Structure 1
């Protein structure tokens, strides 16, 4: 009998676990085997499905979605590096060909700059956006950069995100870009690495907290208006990445705040798609508002933009690029607003249009940026003011034509001595309604004086008044402007002699035509009348002396020089309606009375402006007092403007400002 063992025969041990490579991760050295495994994982089916080309669609063509706002922020074209990174970030699987030796050398060299980049609170939005570009291109760069270089780049991106999360203020744009979007981008593109996958929750939280900052986040973003589009572009990408990495969506309130960012972008846009206070031209900003003409454009090594005129662009009557993507935050309001900003459509007096559009005056007191629109239709003109620096920047357009562009400077002399700014500009009055937009800003000067500047837009009439007033700093001193002080010898001492020189910057292509008999100026462009300028403090006729003179400087500024004693008020009236430039016009300095006595112009001044049958009245007080009368109107106010109807002698009030209740 043969005995047979019932014990199971030994099985051959599997060696699968021995061959399984340890998942690499940032923070530890990576071996050659791990590097090959990682490269393969970055190219497998699951991770390829995360490509920007698939989820961002046409917006990804040519890397556009990652280049939105870059040209505006840089005041010029994007760099070759930025274009290459954007192309790599949105490369369609199996397309794009080989990267040239020159591009590989450039990327290897520039990667060292990324490795050396350190987060700080002063980092520009451009550097932050470029950092996101590197993160988005990392999957493609794994086949281009050497192993050690690629790994150091990834570790540095992780470090920058961590530093931004810890050290940036939650309402700072850097918090959105680096703590938020950078983390989302790494979690999406390099989700196979545990440390990148762990970024999902903190990155979502960073974006959420930034949007919860609401007004403060907007104010801080508008402070650098040229970088605003970078922030709007980031919000668009973050909204699209949320469901891809976290299966969440922007909440309703988050979309509302994002829509407010986009509305600021629309309010600060010129008709050709460029942004106010930016020097990037229309072709360089095409990526923000135009789509590419063909897939061939997006796959070419050198990105080719469609070269179309502004007129052709406007006639397309369709939003593209960043403008279209941002409008999705609030289609009902933003789509018509952006279309109107680009001159693609207009109101035509339709009530539905006005109801659906946002407010027509946008002012960030913290950001010290202002946009005054007669209507959202860009063909009605726009006025922009940036008073964040010592010299105010201004852009004023009549229709689509720029009239004033550049720094609005003011120089003050007191008793022959030049005075200097002694503090920052601050907003002292703001008012807006269906009739007017008004803002008053103030800057202290040495010599015991203060400069107050007003911008008033009469909306339906397409008129703008900009005025400078030089006053004693203190209210007590202002009240004593007209009083006669005495020297030690008992002799009367006159009020100080003040000269105010205001320099208004002419836009390129604007020519000034002086009238032979009067001091009015006609602003022309392309043989067309664009605006009529009336220096109200000057005598209308050239004969005889005048306390105000207007000249054109060699550096193309309108120089308005006004002199007076104790206080000076120098308003300039700009009529931006070309059809009125052919009508008869005049302006008059009005008599202002108090207690049956005529008071001097350093105490209060009044003016009447007439063009054809249309009349306006302006009154400005330089010291407390009243009631005062001007053209039969009794006033206790710092400022008053109205339409005058000569038929019945009545005044249709536009705005009244007093020193106790602000504006009414």
Structure 2
């Protein structure tokens, strides 16, 4: 404790009393210590800068003997290797800063195009961003790698103190990630793995950087060892998948070319699986699922020797025809489908909450992408080459006039795939004691997509007035009124073309690409109906419906242009339970007919029981079939019950 109490001191035989200002002395002492430390720190900094002056000159010389092109090939000449996947992740072309940085990373110089670029300011901003960020995105992590790869060029372009500060900050970032991050995280791969390998390669003359190689290889191996969890995080949201695969590709290339370590089976297994996800997400013109990046934006990905070529290299027999078909370069229908070994056509990961549904790898066929990781489901639907639906699928629900809201996240409750169909069912809890159950069914050969929402009581939060049950298993007083509305966004450049007399809506971008049928609505625009399908000025399909107790709200989307000019109709069917007509809150059935082709949809809303619909006796939660009216036969597409979904 500091005090200023009097202290007695004996001097020359006399006792004198002095008052010593201890706080002042302490402050002086601390100031002296601080000054000494500052001098030592400055001296140490001066020594470090002097050492750095020699090391940076070595780094510049060494980089010339091991150019990026010698490691990464053609993509290492222009800097494209460091731009892979960035446009897809950001939804637009790479920024001027990233383009310059990638070129410097591959031995380029600051040309006339970038001579006014504030490189010093960019370095300072980057250092500040990584020192203050609470989290680092995949794009920012890839940017850090590019800064590290560009260090030799920056040693030439910047004052020594700036390049030294940048190298120190990057090394500290790598070490912080190694010590704190989960080993399956994408930042552990990129910042703990690739960043360390890049520093060890580019700054091999700096002992502290060279020492990073061993722990960086361990970080990459640890990430690949947990590839199931790691890839689920890498593909979450879809748009970062290519950037993560790019980092893994560069990392394995550096491991092979700059170290004595061999590529292990676990490395290639993880890379192969991630490459297949990249292929499954690839759409016409080279873009990717749920990203707005254009063909021009992703030029580096689809160029010869680009990222997609590296994905193909992971499994040439399977992925080469798959990616070629996805890009529209070849077709996989007919004989070719039997001659090549193509990957599966449905890719779903319940941890990342992402589903990719392809009827075939051929770009000519329709396809559906779903991301249900947020409050609202993101959905993309391609009708052949054209994207017709794109964005967040919003729903609003009112119970007895009171608006309800979601109280939890979406979860997958059913998934099924076979040669006929891809099917997924999701569920989200809402206030008011209800569940919103969402179905997406892709009928592969027929090129039809069934979208439907069901509002049903949550068994864990039953309404207080539903205790008494009638002979159908439904609460006798549980007939609260339900009003439902969905807004499904049409893709850019898509216009709605509603039929004048009937309720179907065509989606077109110069020509008709898809036909949307509101099968729970009356077919004709005149007359009463409990459901409507309209379009909004802001480019949405607006589907509204109302009912009592429970409600089913289905849309049928036909993507086959050959059927657009055929006569069509749809009807709600009578559902019978032991000679009793079922109410709409118990079970519903619908028939869709286009030309000579017919389909039947059945959905249970109450307790599953043996019922009859369109001559079919069944007990199921959901049933879809192709119907042959000549013989009254049902060719089952999918049957969902409490056990396992599948064909009848």
Change in Cα spacing, 1:147 to 1:639, as seen in structure 2 (3 Å) is same
For the pair 1:78 / 2:61, whether they are aligned, the reply is no
Provide structure 2 residue ranges, at least 5 long, that are not aligned to the other structure.
1-43
For the pair 1:113 / 2:98, whether they are aligned, the reply is no
* Mapped contact 1:259–1:334 kept (Cα < 8 A): no
Measure the CA separation in 2 of the matches of 1:394 and 1:225. 12
For 1:196, the equivalent position in structure 2 comes to 209
For 1:649, the equivalent position in structure 2 comes to 632
Measure the CA separation in 2 of the matches of 1:350 and 1:125. 41
For the pair 1:126 / 2:139, whether they are aligned, the reply is yes
Matches within 5 A, 1:453-602: 453-474=438-459, 477=462, 483=469, 493=477, 495-526=479-510, 528-602=511-585
What SS does the aligned partner of 2:491 have?
coil
* Mapped contact 1:656–1:663 kept (Cα < 8 A): yes
For 1:13, the equivalent position in structure 2 comes to none
| Cα drift, residue 47 of structure 1 | 4.5
* Mapped contact 2:68–2:77 kept (Cα < 8 A): no
Measure the CA separation in 1 of the matches of 2:467 and 2:334. 48
For 2:179, the equivalent position in structure 1 comes to 166
Match of 2:402 among 414, 417, 439: 417
What SS does the aligned partner of 2:584 have?
coil
Match of 2:591 among 608, 619, 626: 608
For 1:218, the equivalent position in structure 2 comes to 231
Change in Cα spacing, 1:256 to 1:165, as seen in structure 2 (3 Å) is same
Measure the CA separation in 2 of the matches of 1:601 and 1:391. 27
| Cα drift, residue 61 of structure 1 | 3.0
For 1:67, the equivalent position in structure 2 comes to 83
* Mapped contact 1:360–1:372 kept (Cα < 8 A): yes
What SS does the aligned partner of 1:602 have?
coil
Change in Cα spacing, 1:402 to 1:468, as seen in structure 2 (3 Å) is same
Deviates more, 1:172-181 or 1:197-206: 197-206
Matches within 5 A, 1:353-502: 355-474=340-459, 477=462, 483=469, 493=477, 495-502=479-486
* Mapped contact 1:481–1:567 kept (Cα < 8 A): no
| Cα drift, residue 339 of structure 1 | 1.3
What SS does the aligned partner of 1:91 have?
coil
Match of 2:55 among 23, 26, 38: 38
Measure the CA separation in 2 of the matches of 1:389 and 1:354. 40
Deviates more, 1:205-214 or 1:223-232: 223-232
Measure the CA separation in 2 of the matches of 1:606 and 1:480. 25
For 1:634, the equivalent position in structure 2 comes to 617
* Mapped contact 2:59–2:204 kept (Cα < 8 A): no
Deviates more, 1:646-655 or 1:567-576: 646-655
Change in Cα spacing, 1:352 to 1:456, as seen in structure 2 (3 Å) is closer
Change in Cα spacing, 1:77 to 1:535, as seen in structure 2 (3 Å) is same
What SS does the aligned partner of 1:428 have?
strand
> Across the two proteins, how many residue pairs are aligned to each other?
598
Matches within 5 A, 1:231-380: 231-291=244-304, 320-350=305-335, 355-380=340-365
Change in Cα spacing, 1:101 to 1:571, as seen in structure 2 (3 Å) is closer
Provide structure 1 residue ranges, at least 5 long, that are not aligned to the other structure.
1-26, 292-319, 486-491
What SS does the aligned partner of 1:356 have?
coil
What does the per-residue CA deviation read over 1:373-419, in whole Å, with 9 as the maximum and x for residues that have no partner?
A: 11011110211111111111111011111111111111101111111
What does the per-residue CA deviation read over 1:286-328, in whole Å, with 9 as the maximum and x for residues that have no partner?
A: 111124xxxxxxxxxxxxxxxxxxxxxxxxxxxx411112221
What SS does the aligned partner of 2:625 have?
strand
Structure-1-length-normalised TM-score: 0.86
Measure the CA separation in 1 of the matches of 2:348 and 2:445. 20
Measure the CA separation in 2 of the matches of 1:43 and 1:626. 77
What SS does the aligned partner of 1:495 have?
coil
Measure the CA separation in 2 of the matches of 1:435 and 1:156. 55
What SS does the aligned partner of 1:142 have?
helix
What SS does the aligned partner of 2:282 have?
coil
Deviates more, 1:74-83 or 1:61-70: 74-83
Change in Cα spacing, 1:574 to 1:224, as seen in structure 2 (3 Å) is closer
| Cα drift, residue 128 of structure 1 | 0.6
For 2:39, the equivalent position in structure 1 comes to none
| Cα drift, residue 615 of structure 1 | 1.1
* Mapped contact 1:431–1:663 kept (Cα < 8 A): yes
Measure the CA separation in 2 of the matches of 1:394 and 1:31. 55
| Cα drift, residue 353 of structure 1 | 5.3
What SS does the aligned partner of 2:529 have?
coil
* Mapped contact 1:386–1:392 kept (Cα < 8 A): yes
* Mapped contact 1:421–1:445 kept (Cα < 8 A): yes
Match of 1:87 among 99, 103, 106: 103
Change in Cα spacing, 1:30 to 1:132, as seen in structure 2 (3 Å) is farther
Change in Cα spacing, 1:596 to 1:650, as seen in structure 2 (3 Å) is same
What SS does the aligned partner of 1:346 have?
coil
What does the per-residue CA deviation read over 1:176-235, in whole Å, with 9 as the maximum and x for residues that have no partner?
A: 000000011011111111111111111111111111111111111112322111101101
RMSD (Å), alpha carbons: 2.3
* Mapped contact 1:503–1:558 kept (Cα < 8 A): yes
For the pair 1:207 / 2:220, whether they are aligned, the reply is yes
Change in Cα spacing, 1:202 to 1:119, as seen in structure 2 (3 Å) is farther
* Mapped contact 1:347–1:354 kept (Cα < 8 A): no
Measure the CA separation in 2 of the matches of 1:481 and 1:64. 65
| Cα drift, residue 477 of structure 1 | 5.0
* Mapped contact 1:481–1:566 kept (Cα < 8 A): no
Structure-2-length-normalised TM-score: 0.88
Measure the CA separation in 2 of the matches of 1:332 and 1:249. 24
Measure the CA separation in 2 of the matches of 1:631 and 1:206. 60
Change in Cα spacing, 1:330 to 1:481, as seen in structure 2 (3 Å) is farther
| Cα drift, residue 115 of structure 1 | 2.6
What SS does the aligned partner of 1:328 have?
helix
| Cα drift, residue 352 of structure 1 | 5.1
Measure the CA separation in 2 of the matches of 1:646 and 1:30. 90
Match of 2:73 among 32, 49, 57: 57
